[in-house]
């Protein structure tokens, strides 16, 4: 999962007032902190890049600016991917899953998506599968 130490923006709070379309907001199933996981995927290859967290305002900003905005749980502030690192995520499409509890953001990723600079946060090595799972 992604740490977000390389890109900063401003603080406010999760689940505060937002400009998110009420019809979209009504579909969201948030966790106890008012957040939904947001999976970033490279739009043309399907490569899973990272996971971040969004509240209503972060999703609103993502939908209206074309740049991925996330909520930093560790710092308690919004951050726009690429503002300090230069590793921008240009939004191509946004979808909710069938339960409304996860957002899929298809992006055109510039350079690495991971805070380590790697292309994806999921390249630290696959976990070994047991014999029944690998059959």
Whether 108 has a binding-site annotation, put simply, is no
Whether 101 has a binding-site annotation, put simply, is yes
Whether 98 has a binding-site annotation, put simply, is yes
Whether 7 has a binding-site annotation, put simply, is no
Strands (E), the chain: 36-42, 48-54, 69-72, 77-80, 89-96, 103-109
Whether 97 has a binding-site annotation, put simply, is yes
Between CA 98 and CA 5, with CA 45 as vertex, the angle to 5 degrees is: 80
In whole angstroms, give the CA distance from residue 50 to residue 124.
12
Sequence ranges of the binding site for Zn(2+):
98, 114, 121
Sequence ranges of the binding site:
97-99, 101, 114, 121
Sequence ranges of the binding site for Mg(2+):
97, 99, 101
């Amino acid at each position: 999962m992604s740490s977000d130490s390389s890109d900063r923006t401003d603080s406010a709070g999760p689940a505060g007032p937002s400009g998110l379309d009420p019809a979209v907001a009504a579909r969201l199933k948030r966790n106890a902190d008012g957040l939904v996981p947001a999976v970033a995927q490279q739009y043309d290859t399907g490569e899973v890049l990272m996971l971040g967290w969004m509240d209503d305002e972060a999703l609103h900003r993502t939908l209206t600016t074309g740049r991925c905005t996330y909520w930093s749980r560790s710092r308690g502030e919004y951050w726009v991917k690429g503002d300090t690192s230069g590793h921008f995520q240009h939004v191509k499409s946004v979808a909710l899953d069938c339960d409304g509890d996860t957002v899929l953001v298809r992006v055109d990723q510039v350079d690495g998506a991971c805070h380590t600079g790697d292309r994806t946060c999921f390249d630290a090595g696959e976990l070994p599968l047991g014999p029944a799972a690998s059959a």
